[in-house]
Chains A and B, each alone.
Chain A
Amino acid sequence: MNWKILQTVLTPLLLPLMLIIPAFVLLTARRTRPDIFFGFTVEPSLRQAAAGRAILRQFSQLVIVFSLIGLALILLGAFAGLAPGLAVALILGGATVGFGGMIPAYAAARRRVRPHRVEPSREREVMVRPRPTRPVGGWLGQSGPFLILGLVALCLWLRWDGIPERFPIHWDLQGQPNGWAVKSWRSVFGSVLLGSLCCFFFSILFLSFSRGVRRVHSSGVEGERESRFVRTMLVLVLTLEYCIAGMFAGFSPVVPPRLGGIFVAATLLVGLVVAVMAFRSGQGGWRLRGHTSASTPTNTAPVGDRTPDDCWKWGLLYFNPADPALWVEKRFGIGWTFNFGNPRAWFVLGAILIFAAAVPVLSILLFK
């Protein structure tokens, strides 16, 4: 095995992740719903109480310590001039300590929160109004990415004779081509096909979210915030879809490479905006400002996320065959997760995995 190549590949990959993922985890613990704390339903006041603050502090300290150890090991492996085999071992060891250290930190926090858990309210509410059949952005907005790719496909077909026999399909960070394809139907239309596949996947996910997520609050200021949160997330997913369509369109031989680069940058930027806005809103949008003055507290027990605590495994995986929901709010994170007790969840998960495997396989088949 070529340890030197492995070292060169792993270092730029793991070094930023070792900074980003712990920051993400630390922020996540602070952005869950006020009455959900490390996967348990608790009184909303716990987070601000001395006990809650101590739990959060201990969790943060453990995550930071493990991450720093992991970071130190990776830096040592990358820049200390050690033998490549030893360097790779240190880099992988650092990643294991850094990422793996979050598990005991999370487990310790859950152990300390468990005595504070309370029975959530068993009241449920629903707005008696059909969900809009028109998706966010409208059907035209939804079909936009496919129209872009269709237009590019038409240009490719019309300008077929003008396409050179050998054209670039990959560029380095300086924008210089470093990968080439020979002209054929597969290679010329490959990027459009892959782009359509990705956009189709995101469209399905978009529609599934817009129709299938549970509304925790339907009324009052909480309901208003939640609506804005869902809408914002959907708009951002749609924007991401446009960027992906533009990126794949940019890879085709009729579009100037610079345009493709711009869309790659835009896609990364939108991804960043999604993350920032999600964390700013908090889970379910609880940190957003509400305009409705009247809230509807119909009970005194915490509402949580309207799922029973007992159906959560480690506060991360939800399994409730009695619950018809396919998507439920994450208890440690922003957005939604599967209800693994719903057989359709396994079907969708399978489709996601097939999609994840299909894109690289198709790339190889189309451009080889």
Chain B
Amino acid sequence: MPILRIDLGSPTPVYRQIVDSLRALLVNGAFAPGARLPTVREVAIDLGVNHNTVAEAYRLLAEEGWLDLKRYHGATVLQRPPQQAEPARQEDFVQRLRELAARAIADGVDKEEVAQLLGALAEDLKQSKKEIL
């Protein structure tokens, strides 16, 4: 079962953590198109955060085309049309990945280990059951 985890002690805003965590699940094909997600109220109660925080996260994912939000019917996962990333977007991704790796190395993670982790991530993405959209 897909689990959404957040850390209330993290400097990253809670709504952003929810968006990132849910997006990761959606990208990995954890939900079939048409699947229903728990309501804003259910997620807010279990996480112990304000309803508006969860509603904002759902709204952002709906804007990205992942979810269909209907009043009183919760959120439904959509079949997202293939996206064509602009070159600037890809450059931004590479830049952020480099920064993240540099940060990990600066924090003391071994270079080899970072390379292995990135390799494992690449394998995971390749073997993902669902096509990455």
Contact = CB atoms under 8 A, between A and B. Distances in A.
Contacts, number: 81
Interface stretch (B33-41, B90-98, B116-124): B33-41
Contacts of B82: none
A127 B47 CA distance: 10
A307 B8 CA distance: 12
Contact of B45 (A129, A212, A296, A322): A212
A166 interface: no
A322 B7 CA distance: 16
Contacts of A324: 41, 44-45, 48-51
A215 B46 contact: yes
B38 A129 contact: yes
Contacts of A325: 45, 48
Interface residues of B, number: 29
Interface in A113-146: 122-131
Which residue, of B3, B22, B74, has the highest number of chain A Cβ atoms within 10 A? Answer: B3
Chain B: interface secondary structure?
mixed
Given A123-B6, A298-B5, A130 B37 contact: yes
Interface string A141-163: 00000000000000000000000
Interface string B3-15: 1111111000000
Given A214-B46, A324-B45, A122 B1 contact: no
Size class of the contact patch on chain A = 20 to 34
Interface string B60-101: 000000000000001000000000000000000000000000
A130 B8 contact: no
B43 interface: yes
B110 interface: no
B30 interface: yes
Contact of B25 (A123, A124, A128, A307): A128
A131 B38 contact: yes
Interface of A: 122-131, 211-212, 214-215, 218-219, 296, 298, 306-307, 322-326
